[in-house]
Chains A and B, each alone.
Chain A
Amino acid sequence: KAGVTQTPRYLIKTRGQQVTLSCSPISGHRSVSWYQQTPGQGLQFLFEYFSETQRNKGNFPGRFSGRQFSNSRSEMNVSTLELGDSALYLCASSPGQGPNTEAFFGQGTRLTVV
């Protein structure tokens, strides 16, 4: 069974640009969550999508948005990039319902804003 796939693995963008990150969850999983990881703030929850609907949202500005497609693949978009958006962005895949509670993570996308 294929794991969680995040693309691209590395990205360099200029301040003010926008960026789109992609996450393909494990087959059959309907929940996709996004996390930002920085040395200073640690791992912070961005949002969770389940069956194409945002089910939960963290405390991030509106520049951070996401969506989920009918095949459960998810994209995350950051507009008007700031230097502080440089981080490792992790995507987690889960069944989304039922007793199985495990979240499986992708290898992340390392975003550098210059």
Chain B
Amino acid sequence: AQTVTQSQPEMSVQEAETVTLSCTYDTSESDYYLFWYKQPPSRQMILVIRQEAYKQQNATENRFSVNFQKAAKSFSLKISDSQLGDAAMYFCAYRRRGSNYKLTFGKGTLLTVNP
């Protein structure tokens, strides 16, 4: 069974600075997707960034980028120029490629942004 581990229950960052959230996963599959979701107090889960395992290039979305290390099964999220609106719970998630839309989530990291 696939598992996703987020080892940092809480993180904090100063506004305008950079923070990195960690995620490791375990799978025997070679083709899969990895995601970072953000859940603000409104509870709406919002997709931040997506990485396809067969792509070596790390995904980037504006201030958000990932460091995907397939051999190490590591998938960290870097947030640059942190903003107050980035404060939220962040979840790392895994999905096997194919007709299986089941997402396996980590426990989450609560990110606080200090002004």
Contact = CB atoms under 8 A, between A and B. Distances in A.
Interface string B4-15: 000000000000
Given A43-B91, A101-B50, A102-B50, A90 B102 contact: no
Contact of B102 (A48, A96, A110): A48
Q: Chain A binding site: helix, strand, loop or mixed by DSSP?
A: strand
Contact of B101 (A33, A43, A90, A110): A33
Contact of A104 (B47, B52, B100, B106): B47
B103 interface: yes
Interface residues of A, number: 26
Interface of B: 33, 37, 42-47, 50, 52, 91, 95, 99-108
Interface of A: 31, 33, 35, 42-43, 45, 48, 50, 55-56, 58, 88, 90, 92, 94, 96-97, 101-108, 110
